[in-house]
Amino acid sequence: MNNKVKISLALVFLLLVACAKNPFTGKKTMAFVPNSEIFPTAFQQYDQFLTENKVVKGTIDAKRIESIGMKIKTAAERYLVANGNAGYLKDYKWEYNLVDDASINAWCMPGGKIVFYTGILPVCKDDAGIAAVMGHEVAHALANHGQQRMSAGMFQQVGQVGLAVAVGNKDPQTQSLIMQAYGIGSQLGGMLPFSRSHESEADMIGIYLMAIAGYHPSNAVQVWERMSQNSNGNEPSEILSTHPSNASRIQNLSALVPQAILEAAKFGVTFK
């Protein structure tokens, strides 16, 4: 068996055995690295981040971040239990912190470690806006997007090795051109669309969670309208970005609002 066949079989084997199921979408996802390895590292990195940045404690805003975060977590638990995934969050260690930083950003590490920057609060505007952003960030952790990105990166590297073996008998200049083309093509045609799909998936899961938590899902649309106004049109081309454009997100979230209201109604949550 030659090297090309071995590498092809290895790729197929990885895809067959290293998969997990997203409990929110039902999709099979790549999981080459288990959460049992990812979570401890993420928790250490989170703790290190907190020691190196100015964490805001005891203020009204800091308490809002924690309170709303707990409501989103509870919404996730209710959803998962109702859909037969009661033990899904057993290894998550939720923590919510507000950090004094002008960046318009928030993030959630694998395993439920969340940071909001003070700079994003004016864009959030109110509790419902915070819930929209919180739902989106929590959704990344719930859907194991960090694990999937790591797995996709590994898959990309294996493909690169396989291609290097396949073109090993060509002249160096041709090899270089082929490898460069693979790098650009796998990024534009693979990794970036993969990342954008994660953002859209987190928008969908997040808007459901905020609705189940009692916040009207239309507020998610309003957050991204304010985000768009704040950017003043200075966005990278969507095809070259890890995120969908603001316009795409506004359109997609607007279409999801009625579905999120119906989802919340299953849990006894209604809106006027």
Q: Which residue among the candidates 95, 137, 199, 201 is catalytic per the annotation? A: 137
Domains of the chain by residue range: 19-265
Contact between residue 105 and residue 133 where contact means Cβ atoms under 8 Å apart: no
Print pLDDT tens along the chain (272 aa): 444 444 444 444 454 445 566 777 777 665 566 777 888 998 999 999 999 999 999 999 999 999 999 999 999 999 999 999 888 899 999 999 999 999 999 998 889 999 999 999 999 999 999 999 999 999 988 887 655 666 555 555 555 555 455 555 665 666 555 545 444 444 444 444 445 567 888 899 999 999 999 999 999 999 999 988 886 666 654 443 455 678 888 999 999 999 999 999 999 999 97
Contacts of 189 (CB under 8 A, 6+ apart): none
Residue 28 φ then ψ, to 5°: -80, 135
- How far is residue 196's CA from residue 187's CA, in Å, rounded to a whole number? 12
Q: Quick check: 6 and 74 in contact, CB under 8 A?
A: no
Tokens encoding 108:
């959630």
Q: Name 109's bridge partners.
A: 113
Q: Is position 263 annotated as part of the catalytic site?
A: no
- As beta bridge partners, residue 55 has 99
CB-based contacts of 170, cutoff 8 Å, min separation 6:
178
Running DSSP on this structure, what letter comes out for residue 188? I
pTM of the model: 0.75
